Structure 1
Amino acid sequence: MLAAQLVPSPLLSALAQRGYEDLTPVQEAVLDPEVAGRDALVSARTGSGKTVAFGLSMAADLLQGAERLGPAEAPLALVVAPTRELAMQVRRELEWLYAPAGAVFASCIGGMDPRAERRALERGAHIVVGTPGRLRDHIERRALDLADLRTAVLDEADEMLDLGFREDLEFILAAAPEDRRTLLFSATVPKGIAALAERFQRDAARISTAAERRAHADIDYRAYAVIPADRENAVYNLLRFHDAERALVFCTTRASAAHLAARFTNRGLPVVALSGELSQSERSHALQAMRDGRARICVATDVAARGIDLPGLDLVIHADLPTNSETLVHRSGRTGRAGRKGLCALIVPVKARRKAERLLAGAGVETTWASPPGPAEIQARDDASILEDPGLAEAVAQDEQAMVAALLERHGPERVAAAFLRRLRAGMAAPEELTDPGEETRRPAREAFGASVWFELSVGRKQRAEPRWLLPMILSGGDLERRDVGAIRIGETSTHVQIAADRAEAFLDAISPGRTLEKGVRVAPSDGPPPGSERGDGPGGRPRRSGPPSRPHRKGRPAGPRG
Structure 2
Amino acid sequence: MTHFDAAHPLLADALEKRGFTAMTDVQSAVLAEGCAGRDLLVSAQTGSGKTVAFGLSVADQLLDEDADSDLPSRPAALVITPTRELALQVKAELDWLYAETGLVLASAVGGMDIRTERRVLSGRVDLLIGTPGRLVDHLNRNSFSPDHLRAVILDEADEMLDMGFREDLETLLKAAPEQRRTLMFSATVPRTIAALARRYQTEAVRVETISAEEQHKDITYQACSVRPSDRQNAIINLLRYHDDTKAVIFCATRASVSYLSTRLANRGLSVVALSGDLNQAARNQAIQAMRDGRARVCVATDVAARGIDLPHLDLVIHADLPRTADVLLHRSGRTGRAGRKGTAIIVVPDNSYRKTQKLLQMAGITAEWGNAPDADAIRARDDERILTNPDLIEQADEAEASLQAQLADSFTAHQLALALIRQHRRDMAAPEELGEAAEPNMAYAAKTYRWFSLSAGKGQDMHVRGLLSLLTGRGGVKRADVGDIHLHHAESHVGIADTAVDGFLARLKGDGRLSDDITVQEIDSPVVPEGREKKKHDRKKSFQPGRKPRGAGKWHPDDKADRPKRSGPKKERSWQDDSRPSGPKKSGPRHADKTGSGPKTSGPKRPGPKSSGPKPSGPKKSSLKQPEANRSDQTLSIRKKPGKSGRPQRPGKPKQGGFKPVRRKSSR
Q: TM-score, normalised by structure 1?
A: 0.76
Partner of 2:385: 385
1:315-346, CA deviations, whole angstroms, 9 ceiling, x for partnerless residues? 11111111222221121111111211111101
Quote how far apart the aligned CAs of 1:224 are: 0.8
Mean Cα deviation higher: 240-249 or 351-360: 240-249
Partner of 1:42: 42
Quote how far apart the aligned CAs of 1:3 are: 2.7
Q: For structure 1, list consecutive stretches of 5 or more residues without a partner in the other structure.
A: 451-481, 483-557, 559-563
1:381-440, CA deviations, whole angstroms, 9 ceiling, x for partnerless residues? 222222222322221223333322222222112211211221122111111222221399
Alignment check: 8 A CA contact 1:45 1:212 kept? no
SS at match of 1:314: strand
Once residues 18 and 12 of structure 2 are traced to their aligned partners in structure 1, the CA distance between those partners, rounded to angstroms, is: 10
Once residues 416 and 171 of structure 1 are traced to their aligned partners in structure 2, the CA distance between those partners, rounded to angstroms, is: 70
Quote how far apart the aligned CAs of 1:60 are: 1.6
Alignment check: 8 A CA contact 1:72 1:104 kept? no
Alignment check: 8 A CA contact 2:173 2:200 kept? yes
**Structure 2 residue 77 is the aligned partner of structure 1 residue 77:** yes
Where do residues 26-425 of structure 1 align in structure 2 (5 Å cutoff)?
26-64=26-64, 70-71=69-70, 73=72, 74-210=74-210, 214-303=214-303, 305-425=305-425
Quote how far apart the aligned CAs of 1:139 are: 1.3
Question: What is the one-letter code of the residue matched to 2:130?
Answer: G
Alignment check: 8 A CA contact 2:335 2:342 kept? yes
Question: What is the one-letter code of the residue matched to 1:418?
Answer: L
Q: Which has the higher helix share?
A: 1
Quote how far apart the aligned CAs of 1:212 are: 7.6
Pick closer, same or farther for the CA change 1:129–1:446 going to 2, 3 Å.
farther
1:241-274, CA deviations, whole angstroms, 9 ceiling, x for partnerless residues? 1125321111112222222111111111111122
Partner of 1:538: none
Once residues 128 and 340 of structure 2 are traced to their aligned partners in structure 1, the CA distance between those partners, rounded to angstroms, is: 30
Pick closer, same or farther for the CA change 1:221–1:446 going to 2, 3 Å.
farther
Pick closer, same or farther for the CA change 1:400–1:337 going to 2, 3 Å.
closer
SS at match of 1:17: helix
Once residues 63 and 108 of structure 1 are traced to their aligned partners in structure 2, the CA distance between those partners, rounded to angstroms, is: 22
Q: TM-score, normalised by structure 2?
A: 0.64
SS at match of 1:331: helix
Quote how far apart the aligned CAs of 1:446 are: 7.3
Mean Cα deviation higher: 378-387 or 134-143: 378-387
Alignment check: 8 A CA contact 1:44 1:212 kept? no
Mean Cα deviation higher: 46-55 or 323-332: 323-332
Q: For structure 2, list consecutive stretches of 5 or more residues without a partner in the other structure.
A: 448-463, 470-478, 480-587, 589-668
Partner of 1:11: 11
Once residues 72 and 30 of structure 1 are traced to their aligned partners in structure 2, the CA distance between those partners, rounded to angstroms, is: 29
Pick closer, same or farther for the CA change 1:304–1:278 going to 2, 3 Å.
farther
Alignment check: 8 A CA contact 1:43 1:212 kept? no
SS at match of 1:34: helix
1:65-117, CA deviations, whole angstroms, 9 ceiling, x for partnerless residues? 79x99546421111000111100000000000000111101111111111111
Quote how far apart the aligned CAs of 1:312 are: 2.1
Pick closer, same or farther for the CA change 1:439–1:107 going to 2, 3 Å.
closer
Greater C-alpha radius of gyration: 2
Quote how far apart the aligned CAs of 1:46 are: 2.9
Pick closer, same or farther for the CA change 1:212–1:48 going to 2, 3 Å.
farther
SS at match of 2:98: helix
1:194-251, CA deviations, whole angstroms, 9 ceiling, x for partnerless residues? 1110111111010111468732211111101111111111111111111253211111
Once residues 403 and 137 of structure 2 are traced to their aligned partners in structure 1, the CA distance between those partners, rounded to angstroms, is: 68
Pick closer, same or farther for the CA change 1:419–1:304 going to 2, 3 Å.
same
| Higher RCO (CA-CA < 8 Å; seq separation 6+) | 1
Once residues 369 and 169 of structure 1 are traced to their aligned partners in structure 2, the CA distance between those partners, rounded to angstroms, is: 41
Alignment check: 8 A CA contact 2:182 2:201 kept? yes
Quote how far apart the aligned CAs of 1:165 are: 0.6
Quote how far apart the aligned CAs of 1:307 are: 4.4
Pick closer, same or farther for the CA change 1:446–1:390 going to 2, 3 Å.
farther
RMSD over aligned Cα, in angstroms?
A: 2.5
1:5-52, CA deviations, whole angstroms, 9 ceiling, x for partnerless residues? 201111011101110001111111101111111000001233111000
